[in-house]
Structure 1
Amino acid sequence: MDTTARPRAGGRRITFLVALAVFAQESTWNFYDAQVPPLLMAHLGSAAVVGLLMGMDNIIGLFIQPWMGNRSDNTRTSWGRRMPYLVVGMPLAALIFLLIPFSAAALPALIAVMFAYALVVNSFKPIAEALVPDFISPERRSRANAVVKIAAALTVVLASVLSILIVDDHPTAAFFIPSALMLVAVVVLASTVRDSRSRGYQQALAEDRESTETRRPRALDALRDIVRDTDRSRLLLMLAIALFGGAWAASRSLMTPYGMEVLGLSRGDAGGLTLVSGLVYIVVAYPVAMLAERFGRLKVIALGMAVFAVAMLAATLLRSPAGTVIALSAGAVGASGFIINAAVVLWNLAPSARVLGTYAGFYTVSWATGGFLGPALVGAMVDVTGWRLMPVDVAIVTVLAIATVVRIGLIRRSPTEQETKP
């Protein structure tokens, strides 16, 4: 009899449930990103102010996500440490999301609802994702995270479908669908998941009993430990996440003006340049995770970023719509190597099961920081080099991320730092 069958089945079950939670959450996020800007434009004439208000959620996330991840790490209940926050946060977020179209008539009310929504959703985002390292063993976390990332990627398609089919005729009712998905997801989670039974929670309880410290680790303590560690692997990894997150965000957000300025496309056609690559990413995510678990995550991360950088260079040479789509699709294959595995490496480098939620918050903050600063950095480079070399500018930032990951690999192979299969 295969003794691993039941744990593996349990792992597949929790992976599906976490993917469901992330799918529901990201459905509201992506629909928010697609449909709130027009509501703001009805009151504001400045695209810069609209962009600033739409970026408010990223700023809030920088502060709230590590703190809430740490709060969940230090929670001890019969239901576990993550679920109490999810069963409160997800219905509250769904309710606030429903208020968005009703508040759109007055700008102050709309901004207030936007702030409340961003605050609540950022509060449980790292908590939902931390269920993966809680339940899944380190060696199988890449494939689990791949499923979660695929679920998140599918929400982009869902937001587009809702926008195309429903928004014009039913602009208010369209907000009910993502909210309903979130409510269904939390009901399923609440009725099926007890993270008090997870491997991570049980390890945290054991560490609580063995620890001589009466105070549990705070987010600031965990950050200080990373900064002061002479190993530097974790700090360098967070830097690499920010660098590649910036390169990836720039390649997506600046592709529409690139298509218009360099390829001579209309705004709509230029906006569709990334569609095929998004579908390619969904297809390759799980196979890439399997490769990482077999050959090593750091190797797949570095190789994937190299493929992405080469694809960006190829986009500069293949200066046509078809060539750009092919290059972006190849780049998506490479990017998946990083996006699927970087969080897993960071989780696996956590010194204790008591800080897995905190580390989930550190990942999202590092990625969001790159997403916030990357387009601005590449945009400044474009001001110097011109739009024709925008993909090269993205490749340059990617090379910095590759160098950082290579340095981590050298550290992990040193005689004093044995690699723990990150």
Structure 2
Amino acid sequence: MRKTWLLGFGFFSISIGWSLYNGFVPFFLDNYIASTALIGFLMTIDNYIALFLQPYIGQKSDRTHTRFGRRMPYLLIGIPMAALFFALIPFHTSLLTLIVFMVCMNLSMAIFRSPTIALMPDITPEPMRTKANGIINFMGGCGAILAFSAGSFLFHLDESFPFLLVSALFLFALWVVYKNIKEDRDAISFTVTTAHKFNYKKELSNQTLFLLAAIFFWFISIQGMEALFTLYGVNELGLSKSASAFSLAFFSLTFVASAIPCGLLGAKYGKKKMIVIGIIGLTIVFLLLNWVDSVFFLRTLLLIGGMFWACININAYPFIISTGSKGSYGARTGLYYLVSSLAAIISPPVLGLLIDIFGFGILFFAAAVSMLAALACMLKVKDREGGLVKEIEDLGK
């Protein structure tokens, strides 16, 4: 598990980057654009290219072989580029330069995101993956808390400070992962996974497709909520920009506290059960958020919501990995991020358009409806993961 904690620094950098991006970039766009729908669109236009890059790079990393390993070359290229363009975002001089920096940053993130996450199943036996995913998401949640708490404070002092800090953390995380994880030494069945090519017709069973659909719908809910929440807090609840962003830290707080326990519970009682519990609980929380009349009530519900989000998110990635062969970890990681990127593209502009038509009060109703669609898809997924038995038998040989 020591390697998993160290790998968590990679996920830490990804999480803190996205949290700050979603929390503060809308304010930069708001200086130029009046339409919430257009802001939502511009928050995701860069993901169109990443939508195609992530599954391609994930699959390509399955078959990459260098002296640095399969996944590491993508980290060594992508992370420094992401650090550079992330630092440049607050120094934009026009809407055009802002969009250019946003696109370049997201393309850089797409280069290393799938390979970074695919390292987890590479170095972790299947029975331990929900716990391992809990650990790396614990690190990611710490990044989100740092982004919305310390980031809010720094943003209040100077809008560039949190972006410069995250750029430095990107580089520090890369150094930690590079110095401590050696793929040829730490990866399980290294020669086996490099020999396989992803067969989409064979690997994409009905179970996998329903699971991908569920992932899509719950990310529609979460991505839209996170991208537009800060504007919701300012316009609907009358909060300051920093107080609105800080409120999201409460959602991340219980996500962090629940990450490892949810991984253990998923290993003991089943990934699907924990995901279904999380979807139902988060749907109820989103519905209740429509009757928020105080900051205390808002942050209390966000605390509860973070716990249910952990039930979903901690168990989802190990679930999608377990439905396929050992030679498909990178490709399945890419598919996981393909559907989440697709949700990121669709959700903010669609929810933004609904807000333009009906007002900010529609935000959490729409999020709840999307969660119900995810629940319908999850109920079609079988309880037992398709590749689990064979994988455990292989590990025992």
TM (normalized to structure 1)? 0.79
Residue number among 353, 370, 377 corresponding to 2:343 in the alignment:
370
Q: Which moved more, 1:153-162 or 1:278-287?
A: 153-162
Amino acid at match of 1:334: F
Q: Return the offset for 1:243.
A: 0.9
- Match status 1:58 vs 2:47: yes
Change (3 A) 1:302 1:28: closer
SS state of the match for residue 218, structure 2?
A: helix
- Match status 1:310 vs 2:284: yes
1:18-50 CA-to-partner distances (Å, cap 9, x unmatched) read 211121233333334445455555666666554
Matches within 5 A, 1:75-154: 75-101=64-90, 104-105=92-93, 107-154=95-142
Structure with more contact order per residue of length (Cα contacts < 8 Å, sep ≥ 6): 2
Q: Return the offset for 1:382.
A: 7.1
Amino acid at match of 1:217: K
Counterpart in the other structure of 2:180: 192
Q: Which moved more, 1:71-80 or 1:340-349?
A: 71-80
SS state of the match for residue 379, structure 2?
A: helix
Q: Return the offset for 1:296.
A: 0.7
Unaligned stretches of 5+ residues in structure 2: 393-397
After superposition, the CA RMSD in angstroms is: 3.4
* C-alpha distance in 2 between matches for 1:31 and 1:312: 22
- Please say if residues 20 and 185 of structure 1, whose CA atoms lie closer than 8 Å, have aligned partners that are also in contact: yes
Residue number among 190, 205, 217 corresponding to 1:243 in the alignment:
217
Counterpart in the other structure of 2:395: none
Residue number among 207, 217, 232 corresponding to 2:197 in the alignment:
217
SS state of the match for residue 56, structure 1?
A: coil
* C-alpha distance in 2 between matches for 1:59 and 1:77: 29
- Please say if residues 22 and 226 of structure 2, whose CA atoms lie closer than 8 Å, have aligned partners that are also in contact: no
- Match status 1:346 vs 2:320: yes
Counterpart in the other structure of 2:17: 28
Question: Which one has the largest radius of gyration?
Answer: 1
Residue number among 368, 390, 394 corresponding to 1:395 in the alignment:
368
* C-alpha distance in 2 between matches for 1:72 and 1:141: 20
Counterpart in the other structure of 1:14: 3
Amino acid at match of 1:158: L
Residue number among 170, 183, 189 corresponding to 2:171 in the alignment:
183
- Please say if residues 243 and 401 of structure 1, whose CA atoms lie closer than 8 Å, have aligned partners that are also in contact: yes
Change (3 A) 1:261 1:36: closer
Amino acid at match of 1:126: S
* C-alpha distance in 2 between matches for 1:260 and 1:171: 17
Q: Return the offset for 1:176.
A: 3.4
- Please say if residues 255 and 273 of structure 1, whose CA atoms lie closer than 8 Å, have aligned partners that are also in contact: no
SS state of the match for residue 56, structure 2?
A: helix
Amino acid at match of 1:234: T
Change (3 A) 1:167 1:338: closer
* C-alpha distance in 1 between matches for 2:353 and 2:150: 34
- Please say if residues 304 and 336 of structure 1, whose CA atoms lie closer than 8 Å, have aligned partners that are also in contact: yes
Q: Percent identity?
A: 26
- Match status 1:233 vs 2:221: no
- Please say if residues 71 and 115 of structure 2, whose CA atoms lie closer than 8 Å, have aligned partners that are also in contact: yes
Unaligned stretches of 5+ residues in structure 1: 1-11, 209-215
Change (3 A) 1:114 1:252: closer
Amino acid at match of 1:396: V
TM (normalized to structure 2)? 0.84
Amino acid at match of 1:366: V
- Match status 1:335 vs 2:304: no
- Please say if residues 282 and 308 of structure 2, whose CA atoms lie closer than 8 Å, have aligned partners that are also in contact: yes
- Please say if residues 57 and 115 of structure 1, whose CA atoms lie closer than 8 Å, have aligned partners that are also in contact: yes
Q: Which moved more, 1:373-382 or 1:326-335?
A: 373-382
* C-alpha distance in 1 between matches for 2:62 and 2:22: 30
Q: Which moved more, 1:400-409 or 1:121-130?
A: 400-409
